[in-house]
Structure 1
Amino acid sequence: GGKGKFVVMLYVDDILLTGNDGKKLGEVKSHLSATFEMKDLEEPKNFLGINIKRCRESRTMTLDQREYIEKLLERFNMREAKPQETPMVTRQVSHREDRKNANKESEKTVVGFPFREAIGGLQYLTPNCKTR
């Protein structure tokens, strides 16, 4: 017979098993549950904050992180933020005095903002799901 495909995704105490050989998959789950405490969720809807949508008819899976993004926006009070092409005006010539005044204004906005946490949240987001 042909060789089946089997995928194991493991992160700390979360594991996701999938494959195209139901019998082998059952054997692996049986073996693992004999050693470790496990809960079989059958067909998962979410894994590590990534939503999983499966369409058997078209034999496709769609992954998204909508809830994670919503929580991130809420956490950093950015629900009403408007998308921008760049964080600042491009090709603008400014003078030292202009920058000094602008910095005083922008300091009021950024003092206390948790930049590291926001960047960490975005870094978790980026490698997991890509746009088409």
Structure 2
Amino acid sequence: MDDFGVRPKRLRRRAEQPAFPPPLGDRAQGAAAEERSFAGMRLKSVTTPGEQSAAGLPEIAGVMVLSVDKDGPAARAAFKPGDVVIDLPGDAGDTTQAINTLEELLAEFKSRRWRYEISVRVMRNQAEMDLRLTLPQ
């Protein structure tokens, strides 16, 4: 029975305990994404195919809400853990700013802070919904 296959002992030892690399998706997409807090919620960029699939997103983009402080501005705006911010609709309803990363979202919040309250489009349970968030001053 041992008369076929890999014959050199050095190669046989290597064949018995192969080393498998980590899955490409986790390594390529940055498994350890940065988390930040803003307006009473903990946020992170959507970075893996698993997060994309769970949220029902068409691509790996958006900002996932990890947790919401029960007394914060996000809770008053009806944000829930698992929501994914996908864009910020314009006031006129004809323009939309797509949100791909946490950095983009925070930059948009900062540039719109003077408005005091902004519209935020989220994906919840694989359906889009609009929320109004009062920005901290």
Please report the TM-score for the alignment, with normalisation by the length of structure 1.
0.26
Based on CA coordinates, which of the two structures has the bigger radius of gyration? 1
- The structure with the greater share of residues assigned to strand is 2
Greater relative CO, 1 or 2 (CA 8 Å, sep 6+): 2
